[in-house]
Structure 1
Amino acid sequence: MSDFTTEPDLVPEGGALDLLFVRRYLDNLWRFKWLLAVVLVLAIGAAVFHTNRQVPLFQATATFLLDPRPPQILGREIQEVAPIGTSPWDSNRKEYYNAQLHILRSKMLAQRSVAHGKLHEIPEIVGTDITPANEADRVRWATGAVMSSIMISGPNEDRVLRITATHVKPKAAAAIANAHVAAYLDFNLSLRTQGSENAAEWLAHELTKAEGDLREAELETFEYKKQHNLLYVSLEDQRNLVTNNIKRYTDAVNDARVKRIEAEQYLKRVAKARAEPLLESALFDLAKSETGTALKQQYYQASQKLEQLGQVYGPKHPEYQSQQRSVTKILGSLKTEGDIVVKSAREQYESAQATEKAFIGELASHKKSAFELGPKEVDYNRLVRRERSDEGRYKVVLNQLRNSQITGRLTTVNVRPLDAAVIPGAPVSPSLRRNLVFAGGLAMLLGPGLILLLTLMDRRITGPEELERLVSAPLLGVIPRADDDKACDPLDLLVHQQPTSAIAEACRNVRTNLLYSGADEPVRTLMITSPNEREGKTTASMYLSTVIAQSNQRVVLVESDLRRPRLAKANGVPGRHGLSDVILGELELDDAVKTTDVPNLYLLPAGAPPPNPSELLMTKSFGDVLDRLRDQYDMVILDSPPVLAVTDASILAQRADTTLLLVKSEQTLRDTAKRASDQLAAVDARVAGVVLNALDLSKRVYGYYSKYGYGYGYAPEPVES
């Protein structure tokens, strides 16, 4: 047993459900093929009727080449003042083409076309009911005809535009197309001519003004140069001279500073060496003094000789004393020479210092001159810029004026006519073939579309796969439709009277699946119900009871629908007394149970309708009746009222071992089946499965079911359920 739950509503999305929806849709296409034929016939009839009512239309096409770059007749040296088209360097030509298309569709150009081609004088365009005195009306009428009949196409890669005129008169169509091209050509030429004339007039005025501004700027510059002595030496030359002097003295200051630092360092080394004993000092070597070096050599020689004389003669000898005076004299000369070296280094340092100071003064003087030159340069440059600007503007205006005078006489434009429109010989509309093709295509869309809409709006359960998808309980079987079994009366006895029919075989299949579903816990009490009435529940109960009884089991069919019982009448037994009387204790159970024409099948009629069936089924007495029936029979089958109609089915489901839900094909709605399943789930009913009743096996979608157990080996004998 499995709990009876449902999945979300069926919609055509993905997997097997898509295939099911497609099969249903194809079946509906076959069923409603007459609708497709009707739609096709109506569409073709409407197309023929519409074609015959249409007025023939003629088309004439004139073509011209629209070059976005104007022809360069005068070369690149002379540029147009009022150019047409786009610049040779303009890569965005889409805007230009769009602008030209707007011009071609404008009322202004339509009026030019009427005037240029005298279209208001052509009777085919304005008609014959407008008198010549109303020329304004004729022009207005012709303008409207041009605007309503013109169609512009292009340009493509070939830069060709096509002017197509559509009119009820072939001559009028050709005249309108040719006049429109000629008017567009004349419009472009007038733009060039008028633009050049306007530009020349404006440029002449601007040239006079530019010339006056230039003369004023030149005079002001001359007066400034005269005032600041710049007539012979320009300010730029003065600035260059000052700049060069600043650079030169800057370099001189740097060199003098280096020499002064070197002299200072040299003086420090010399002074330090002079402070040391002269005979041990490197003063003369540092100063590179040959005199000092020679005196040191003489001193060493004289001292050596003095030492020798002292050893020979002694210190009092006249030669010794004479030599001693010579040594003293040489030593004095050494000191004098050392002082001279120090003095020379000091003089060298002072000279370098004075030179650096002089260069710094000169540099400051030139910088001052440069600073004083700055304001003059600012004013002078301003005057020069103004003069050059005025001169440049004067030259530009003068050049443009000359160009406008030359280009104003040109009669070439960027529009070149190609093919003139010719009078058409045959109408382009109406086209019966085109209308028939369109009508056929529309019918091919509308017919299947209507059937698709019908399929989408159909909320009925139509097949076993759909039912299995809707509920999670197993599908125990399918009972075919019985439309052709009219010979069996009543239909409730069809399985008994025609045991080899397809319906009987289908019921045996349901019986087998039902018994196997309760293999772990044998089914003794089975309730059969449906969502609503008239879904074949009572007939299916009779069918299933019959096939179970045919398997040598004692079966009692309890007519649990106390509100609308009909099993007693169908089986030809009295139904005045039955279940309700047994529950109330007014009748014995054995007396209430009736035999039927089906062997092993017994019937417990509903009896007299009680005022409170639901309360009666909830009593303990009813439970005792079911217990006694289980003891006496192999199978107790309860024919229950519909689940959604009353609460009786919910009460019976709690007392039965298992429940079987019957759904009628092409009648039970998906929402209804879901509500029934929810109701059974709410009372914790044990549901063995579902059965699809009254399935039409003759349909293209479900015809293959007859090959699998429903008619195999038997002639199909469908009976209405």
Structure 2
Amino acid sequence: MYDADRKLADGIEAMNIPVKGSNREQPAGGSAYGAADEEGGSFTEFDIAAIYRTLRKHLGVIAGITIGLTALVLVWVFQLTPLYTANAQVLLDRQKMQVVDMQAVMSGLSPDSATVDSEVEILRSRALAGRVVAEFDLTKDPEFNSSLQSPPVFRWLDPRVWAGELISLIEADPRPIDGAMLAQRELNEVIDNFLARLSITRQGMTYVIEIGFQSESQQKAAQLANAVADTYILDQLEAKFDATRQANDWLSRRLGDLRQQVVDSERAVAIYRTQHGLEETNGLTISEQQLSELNAQLILARTDLAEAQAKYDRAKEIRTSGGSIESVADVLQSGTISQLRQKQAELARELANLSAKYGPRHPEIVNAEAQRRDIQRQIGAEIGRIMGSLQNNVSVAKTRVSSLEDSLKQIRGESGVGGQALVQLRQLEREAEANRTVYESFLNRFKETSQQSDFQTPDSRVISKATPPVSPSYPRKGQTAILALVLSAMLGVGVAFLLEHLDNGIQTGRDIEQMLGVPHLVSVPVTPVEKQANGKPMAPPDYLIAKPLSAFSESLRSLRSALQLSNVDNPPKIVLFTSALPSEGKTTTASSFARAAAASGLKVVLVDCDLRHPSVHKIFMGERRPEEGLVELLAERLSLDKVLVKDTKSELDIIPVATGTANPPDVLGSAQMKLLLQRLRDAYDLVVLDSAPVLPVSDSRVLSKLADETVFIVRWNETPRDAVQSALKELRNYDTVIAGVVLAAVDTTVQARYGYGDGGYYYGKYSRYYVN
């Protein structure tokens, strides 16, 4: 704190206490003497240097969060029980051993990804986990049954414990629980804990599945990982055995039904045949056989008829036309004709020989001619007989054809009567045949499945057994420590930027020039705690005299130089000191500035213009209150000489306030005040006015029009930015000439961490140049 506006007993002590905390640092915009840098970018623009300053500013917060959280995590990690992870690998085997060519009841695994993922889920299933839990009796293992565990010392450091307790309270069932339900709940908890330790992962896009299990025991981790793999393969075999056995049972029951259906359907066919006279020989009924035979005979008879008719017609045609009948096949084939022709030929030779010896009337020749004519007659008779035979053959063939046609018509008539019965018979036969086919198919399948029930192979095999791990997999203390350090540091940085964002104070001259748009004149450091001879804290104006080479004294000299350089040709002689709010340090700064100027050899007068809460006299006069002051002087009841108070430690003149007034703005804006300031301008080198704050009252606004320049005081890291902006806006509305802003009560040790570009940084950074 840095202010004499408070009560003297508290104010001077408070002014020497460094202000804790800091605020957001922004990109540089000006020097300690108010020379603004023309740098691009706004206050909110991303700036690496600003980020660095923010981190440096809140280094303590970042370090505290980082160290604290990291230590807390390490305490939690080191009290955890080490867990070991063992891994086994199972291959989904696509190559099947086919001993015999039989289709399996339960098909093997298809090679697609969905199937592999499904097997992964089977390995994660509660049913499989329950079998392993039952096999190893894990309900009696404290590692998996929390009711058998003793709580760890630091169990409440684990957030999961809080969550579990909270869920238990929310889901608590007020109804009484019987023993069976309690045992089931215990079993479910053990299975849940078992599954929490089990990890099932597919190795890329391969058919290999890795089974990992985590346990407090190295041996147990390997044992349970292998147990899961073995149980999974056993489950596949049992599933196949069960499926085959169920298929056999069903086929056996079904075969009995099918066998009876075959017997019934074949009996129905036999009965129907007997009832309708449809007995069969070689697969045909008697009627069908008769029709078939008659059709065959009729075809042969018609063929014979056609052949006989053709022979007869040919012979008849030759005989009618006078041709040689002997060319007819039957004539040529006749033995009698052949013998007669032979005799005729012999007789012709004999007749030729006789004709050579005898005359035509010779008896031998006559006898020979008679024999020749007899033979010719016999040949004609034989040919007539053959023609009659051909004609008779035609008649017989026609009679046979007609007879067969009549018999066929008769049998067809009889068949037409039994045709409907035959259709029904064929339907019954088809049903019997269908039943027989189904029965034989089921019988063959039953024989195959009966053989398969004794030989089954799993679809998976273990390609890598789990072995006891050497080192624990959890907790990974080194990695956890690094992660905790990084995350806590990130959290610390986040908190630092949050604090910077929420901080509404002003810390550097860069803030003043970039946010307020006015020059930063100087940063006045807070004075160290110094005791006077009477044991009371030393006021800043007294510290100025006691420590002329201190950073505090140097800042006031810098302020005077900045005011002089603000207008070299016509330096301000009447300077008004004000602030946005009370307790900003304006009175202390104005008093110290006036005493520093007087100590440099200038003739200076300090006028206390805060008619509502005057405090200048407390700094220079102690507990003694003046009897006359500014109000009496302006009322022309006293002369200037009567009102002036001489500073005992410098050549400074002071016009205090002894009594108040009902209307301070009217008094300060009166013609008498203007005349007084003109007299002081003529009589002194520098007139310093200490006025009331701008926002609460209008005194400073009225008075600023009478001053050459106004120095605005902002308390470091405390004055709200919006209050400063509002106050400066009010002063500008009165056409006030604002020389700049003084950053008061600066903790240079803290500000030295904010970076370059501010006078407070150099006061802290190079403190060896000052005698504090």
Report if TM-score (shorter chain) is over 0.5: yes
Q: Tell me the CA shift for residue 412 of structure 1.
A: 2.9
Within 5 A, what are the aligned runs for 1:224-235?
none
Q: What is the CA deviation profile of residues 375-410 of structure 1, one whole-angstrom value per residue up to 9, with x for unaligned ones? A: xxxxxxxxxxxxxxxx9xx99x989x9799589666
Q: Tell me the CA shift for residue 168 of structure 1.
A: 5.3
Q: What is the aligned partner in structure 1 of residue 644 from structure 2?
A: 593
2:620 is aligned with 1:571? yes
Within 5 A, what are the aligned runs for 1:656-667?
656-667=707-718
Counterpart selection for 1:85 from 109, 120, 123: 109
Counterpart selection for 1:64 from 49, 73, 90: 90
SS in 2 for 1:693: strand
CA change 1:120–1:527 in 2 (3 A) is closer
Q: What is the CA deviation profile of residues 639-693 of structure 1, one whole-angstrom value per residue up to 9, with x for unaligned ones? A: 0112233322222223323211111223323333233323323444221111112
CA change 1:455–1:577 in 2 (3 A) is same
2:540 is aligned with 1:540? no
Instruction: Determine the C-alpha separation between the residues in 1 that align with 2:692 and 2:484.
Output: 53
CA change 1:63–1:146 in 2 (3 A) is farther
One-letter code aligned to 2:592: Y
Q: What is the aligned partner in structure 1 of residue 45 from structure 2?
A: 14
SS in 2 for 1:413: coil
Count of aligned positions: 511
Q: What is the aligned partner in structure 2 of residue 561 from structure 1?
A: 610
One-letter code aligned to 2:199: I
Q: What is the aligned partner in structure 2 of residue 701 from structure 1?
A: 753
Q: What is the aligned partner in structure 2 of residue 107 from structure 1?
A: 126
Q: What is the aligned partner in structure 2 of residue 468 from structure 1?
A: 513
Within 5 A, what are the aligned runs for 1:243-254?
none
2:204 is aligned with 1:153? no
Q: Tell me the CA shift for residue 125 of structure 1.
A: 8.8
Instruction: Determine the C-alpha separation between the residues in 1 that align with 2:193 and 2:241.
Output: 30
Q: What is the aligned partner in structure 2 of residue 624 from structure 1?
A: 675
Q: What is the aligned partner in structure 2 of residue 25 from structure 1?
A: 55
Q: What is the aligned partner in structure 2 of residue 184 from structure 1?
A: 232
Contact 2:54-2:497 at 8 Å conserved across structures: no
Q: Is 707-716 or 99-108 further displaced after alignment?
A: 707-716
Q: Tell me the CA shift for residue 85 of structure 1.
A: 2.7
CA change 1:36–1:712 in 2 (3 A) is closer
Q: What is the aligned partner in structure 1 of residue 665 from structure 2?
A: 614
CA change 1:126–1:566 in 2 (3 A) is closer
Contact 1:43-1:442 at 8 Å conserved across structures: no
CA change 1:105–1:712 in 2 (3 A) is closer
CA change 1:137–1:179 in 2 (3 A) is farther
One-letter code aligned to 2:606: L
Contact 1:526-1:638 at 8 Å conserved across structures: yes
Structure 1: give runs of 5+ residues left out of the alignment: 1-9, 213-390
Q: Tell me the CA shift for residue 559 of structure 1.
A: 0.5
Q: What is the CA deviation profile of residues 112-133 of structure 1, one whole-angstrom value per residue up to 9, with x for unaligned ones? A: 4456x46479878999x99xxx
Q: What is the aligned partner in structure 2 of residue 347 from structure 1?
A: none
SS in 1 for 2:705: helix
Instruction: Determine the C-alpha separation between the residues in 1 that align with 2:251 and 2:652.
Output: 120
SS in 1 for 2:458: coil
Within 5 A, what are the aligned runs for 1:142-541?
145-150=190-195, 151-157=198-204, 158-167=206-215, 173-192=221-240, 405=448, 411-422=456-467, 444-445=489-490, 450-486=495-531, 489-519=538-568, 522-541=571-590
Larger Rg: 2
SS in 1 for 2:744: strand
Instruction: Determine the C-alpha separation between the residues in 2 that align with 1:72 and 1:145.
Output: 37
Instruction: Determine the C-alpha separation between the residues in 1 that align with 2:214 and 2:515.
Output: 61
CA change 1:186–1:152 in 2 (3 A) is same
Q: What is the aligned partner in structure 1 of residue 704 from structure 2?
A: 653
TM-score, structure 1 normalization:
0.59
Instruction: Determine the C-alpha separation between the residues in 2 that align with 1:521 and 1:574.
Output: 37
One-letter code aligned to 1:527: L
Q: What is the CA deviation profile of residues 257-278 of structure 1, one whole-angstrom value per residue up to 9, with x for unaligned ones? A: xxxxxxxxxxxxxxxxxxxxxx
Instruction: Determine the C-alpha separation between the residues in 2 that align with 1:531 and 1:509.
Output: 23
One-letter code aligned to 2:237: L
Contact 2:138-2:190 at 8 Å conserved across structures: no
CA change 1:203–1:663 in 2 (3 A) is farther
Instruction: Determine the C-alpha separation between the residues in 1 that align with 2:573 and 2:652.
Output: 15
Contact 2:86-2:225 at 8 Å conserved across structures: yes
One-letter code aligned to 1:624: L
Contact 1:506-1:710 at 8 Å conserved across structures: no
Q: What is the aligned partner in structure 1 of residue 31 from structure 2?
A: none
Structure 2: give runs of 5+ residues left out of the alignment: 1-40, 149-178, 263-433
CA change 1:450–1:136 in 2 (3 A) is closer
Q: Tell me the CA shift for residue 581 of structure 1.
A: 1.1
Q: Tell me the CA shift for residue 638 of structure 1.
A: 1.1
2:770 is aligned with 1:716? yes
Q: What is the aligned partner in structure 2 of residue 248 from structure 1?
A: none
Tell me the C-alpha RMSD between the 2 structures.
Answer: 4.9
Contact 1:664-1:694 at 8 Å conserved across structures: yes
CA change 1:74–1:513 in 2 (3 A) is same
CA change 1:496–1:136 in 2 (3 A) is closer
Q: What is the CA deviation profile of residues 78-137 of structure 1, one whole-angstrom value per residue up to 9, with x for unaligned ones? A: 8877534335xx5xx1x333322322222222344456x46479878999x99xxx9999
Instruction: Determine the C-alpha separation between the residues in 2 that align with 1:186 and 1:135.
Output: 29
CA change 1:57–1:31 in 2 (3 A) is closer
Instruction: Determine the C-alpha separation between the residues in 2 that align with 1:188 and 1:402.
Output: 22
Instruction: Determine the C-alpha separation between the residues in 2 that align with 1:126 and 1:709.
Output: 65
Instruction: Determine the C-alpha separation between the residues in 2 that align with 1:125 and 1:621.
Output: 94
Q: Tell me the CA shift for residue 517 of structure 1.
A: 1.9
Instruction: Determine the C-alpha separation between the residues in 2 that align with 1:198 and 1:418.
Output: 31
Q: What is the aligned partner in structure 1 of residue 288 from structure 2?
A: none
